[in-house]
Structure 1
Amino acid sequence: MKSLFTTSALFIFMVVLLASCQSSQPVFSKRGEEYRSAREIAAEKRAARRSGTRTDRSIATNSKDRTSRTRSHRNLDKDVAAVIKAARSYTGVPYRWGGTTRIGMDCSGLLCTSFQSIDVTLPRTSEEQSKYGRDVKTKDLKEGDLVFFGSSKRNITHVGMVTEVISRDEVRFIHASTSLGVIENNLYAEHYQKIFVKAVRPPVF
């Protein structure tokens, strides 16, 4: 009886300890990629849901927007269109540090893999990718441009790629989110504006 009680107590202790570790463990990468606190992850989820819902509704109710967006995609450079198509093929793939496959992707890995579709090798980390090309002002953003996030210009920790320029306050970008996997969001959502650092146009475009 005493042995059974001891075993049960040990089991309960291990369950509590495991739950505690999982809830407090930060999302961290040795490369400095994708560090997020629990509060930042929650904010990212809220921004993604609001952004996605608003965009889906506007697309469904505004035929003029649909026409202009379709036209803009027809006019995309062939290489830009190919890279965007490749990136979107990973939509829904979960986040995985160091990942470059459908099992899991990290933010810079998504772009490395997508650019391979046009035989271009990107630097591996978001910080290195931020130096690959020339800086672009947000008002001049185009599909295929890379957008970078972090706590400062010297601490870039996240990257995405512009997929659609819809209006002055809606620019869609695809990225591998730590909390939601590969997803498209609006660059002008409050959460992303707070951490936005810069945009770069790759030399191949």
Structure 2
Amino acid sequence: MKTLFTTSALFIFFLLLMASCQTSQPTFSKRGEEYKSAREIAAAKRAAKKNNRGGGKYAGGVTGTSKDRTSRTRIPKRNLDADVATVIEAARSYTGVPYRWGGTTRVGMDCSGLLCTSFQSINVALPRTSEEQSRYGTDVKTKDLREGDLVFFGSSKRNITHVGMVTEVISQDDVRFIHASTSLGVIENNLYSDYYKKIFIKAVRPPVF
């Protein structure tokens, strides 16, 4: 009798175990659809995201609310230089890090510290302050801006107090740059938004690009 009870208990435990394993299996396709692995689904999502890029939201940026974009000239996407892409990727990895004067880590970043740390990813040592960085490279006109260029802000050319780096040139009036904002931390914004357009001073292309 004891043996029978033990056998029955084991059988019930085995059935429960099988049921829990089945219910925990991930579902990658709906009934009637062709089976796709997790890797295939992830690849499809990346492809869809790439095709739709440019129409979504940007971290901290100013997105257009009007559907009429006929007044904007969209700039064809170009293949980024490997070093430029590496520096931008490094800078974006700090998105959301709070502002901290003199900071160069994930605990806190200031604007020039963000660029110094990002350029270290390609073994380039940038000057430490935004004023010094404004002299590192050649001046660039706003119409010629491209990814990797440094953009500077302040009250005058003699009083540069803030710096960012261009991450994406979408159109003639939509140029994204990443920087360490004193209020929002590391974030991306549109250079041509009302606020930044008023305090923009100059742009510089680092000699390494």
**TM-score category, normalised to shorter length:** 0.5 to 0.7
Q: 1:133 aligns with which of 137, 157, 164?
A: 137
Q: 1:112 aligns with which of 96, 112, 116?
A: 116
Q: Which residue of 1 aligns with 2:206?
A: 202
Q: 1:187 aligns with which of 173, 179, 191?
A: 191
**How many Å separate the matches in 2 of 1:122 and 1:84?**
15
**Structure 2 regions of 5+ residues with no counterpart?**
1-57, 70-74
**How many Å separate the matches in 1 of 2:153 and 2:186?**
16
Q: By how many angstroms is 1:53 displaced?
A: 4.9
How many residues of Structure 1 are paired with residues of Structure 2 in the alignment?
148
CA-based RMSD:
2.5
**How many Å separate the matches in 2 of 1:54 and 1:165?**
14
Q: Which residue of 2 aligns with 1:7?
A: none
- The answer to whether structure 1 residue 89 and structure 2 residue 84 are counterparts is no
Q: Which residue of 1 aligns with 2:63?
A: 54
**How many Å separate the matches in 2 of 1:121 and 1:135?**
19
Higher helix share: 1
Q: Is the 8 A contact 2:62 2:190 kept in 1?
A: no
Q: Which residue of 1 aligns with 2:31?
A: none
Structure with bigger gyration radius? 2
SS of the aligned residue for 2:147 comes to coil
Q: Please give the per-residue CA displacement for 1:24-48, whole angstroms capped at 9, x wherever unaligned.
A: xxxxxxxxxxxxxxxxxxxxxxxxx
Q: TM-score, normalised by structure 1?
A: 0.67
Q: Percent of aligned positions with the same letter in both sequences?
A: 81
Q: Please give the per-residue CA displacement for 1:124-149, whole angstroms capped at 9, x wherever unaligned.
A: 00000000000000000010000000
Letter in 1 for 2:172: R
The ranges of structure 1 where at least 4 consecutive aligned residues each deviate by more than 6 angstroms after the TM superposition are none
**How many Å separate the matches in 1 of 2:62 and 2:152?**
23
Q: Aligned runs of 1:60-71 on 2, under 5 Å?
A: 71=77
